[in-house]
Amino acid sequence: MRVKAVISYDGAAFYGFQAQSTTPKTVSGALTRAAEKLGIDSAIVGSGRTDRAVHATGQVIHFDLPSHWQNSLEKLKTVYNRLLSPHIQIKTITPVRDTFHARFDAKRRIYRYVFKSTPPTPFENLYACHLHHSDPEKLKEALKLFEGTHDFCYFHKKGSDPGSTVRTIFRTDVKNFRRYIMLYIEANGFLRSQVRMIVAACMNYMHNNITLQQIDEQLAGKTMHTTHLAPPQGLYLARVIY
């Protein structure tokens, strides 16, 4: 039986989601090792990869269960969480059709980027990015440029072949909560480090380092004006929609 699980994790504890031959400290690796202890011999497939130090509050995975777990999903969640604590948490486990695929069936993904307008405390330093001289309206103005369908060839990190670099961003938003500023980007999919490059471009505009026209030119594939990546610790995979 195939199941879908919604999970959250502390990206500061891992070198990214995807399993790597050079280190066991990946989210996928931790999930696989814990599953093996429960007699689950299945690949753990995620809705997408997150980079080193990037967090998730709504990552989705799928895997196949042996018969002895198929009628005990709540118990499985409890025992699995015990093995994964404290850096990964299984939030829900639900049965799905046998052909369900966490990555290919996803229709939309939502990322959240968290800024703090005052210097983060030692307990917040790995979970928010300090934003000097914040101007939420300028961030919102720059983010709006990215809405719609675009070729993001100049807004992703090279090193992998995505096939097509065209993506559709359905919605962007900026929200204030006490001393925090949160950016939201919802799209049909994201390229490698695309969100961090978009956020960095918006930060550069807010600090008057580039103009809206220059962002537009880069988005049109004419000229590269910024190649910076926003720090990973502020980024969260918030939700995957099917």
**Residues making up the binding site for substrate:** 111
Among the options 10, 41, 51, 135, which is catalytic? 51
Distance CA 102, CA 42 (A): 14
Q: Give the helix ranges, DSSP H, for 120-210.
A: 136-144, 194-206
Active-site residue 51, yes or no? Answer: yes
Inter-axis angle of helices 212-219 and 194-206, to 10 degrees? 160
Which residues is 56 bridged to in the sheet?
9, 237
Closest to 115 (Cα-Cα) out of 56, 197, 24, 200: 200
Residue positions in the annotated binding site? 111
The answer for residues whose C-beta is within 8 angstroms of residue 164's C-beta and 6 or more apart is none
Residues, the chain, total?
242
Catalytic residues, by residue number, are 51
